[in-house]
Amino acid sequence: MAEVEYTFLGNTGLKVSNICLGTMTFGSDEKMSRGGTLALSEAESHRILDRFTELGGNFIDTANMYHYGMSEAIIGNWLEKQDRNRFVIATKVFVPMDRTNPNACGLSRQHIMWSINESLRRLKTDYIDLYQVHAWDCVTPVEETFGALDDLVKAGKIHYIGVSNLCGYQLQRVVDVCKAKGLQPVITLQQQYSLLCRFSEFEEFNVCKDEKVGILPWSPLKGGLLSGKYYRGMTQDKLDELKSRIAYATKNKDTVQAISPDFEKAGEQFFEVLDHLKTIADKYSKTVAQVSLRWLLQKPAVTSVIIGVRTLAQLEDNMGASAGWRLTDEEMATLDEASAITDVPYPYSFVFALKKMRTAKFDSKMFAKK
Q: Which residues are catalytic?
A: 66
Within 10 angstroms of residue 64's Cβ, the number of other Cβ atoms is 21
79-89 as b/e, with b when 16 or more CB fall inside 10 Å? beeeeeeebbb
CA angle, residues 276, 1, 59, in degrees to nearest 5: 90
Within 10 angstroms of residue 78's Cβ, the number of other Cβ atoms is 22
Residue type, 321: A
Beta bridge partners of 88: 59
Element (H, E) at 161: strand 158-164
* Cβ–Cβ < 8 Å for 223, 246: yes
Terminal C-alpha separation, the chain? 61
Please state, in angstroms and rounded to a whole number, the distance separating the CA atoms of residues 60 and 91: 9
Dihedrals phi, psi of 150, to nearest 5 degrees = -60, -40
Within 10 angstroms of residue 358's Cβ, the number of other Cβ atoms is 7
Please state, in angstroms and rounded to a whole number, the distance separating the CA atoms of residues 140 and 208: 23
Residue type, 66: Y
By residue count, the chain amounts to 370
Report strand pairing: 59-61 vs 88-93. Answer: parallel
166: DSSP letter:
-
DSSP codes of every residue in 86-124: G-EEEEEE-S-S-TT-TTSSSS-HHHHHHHHHHHHHHHT
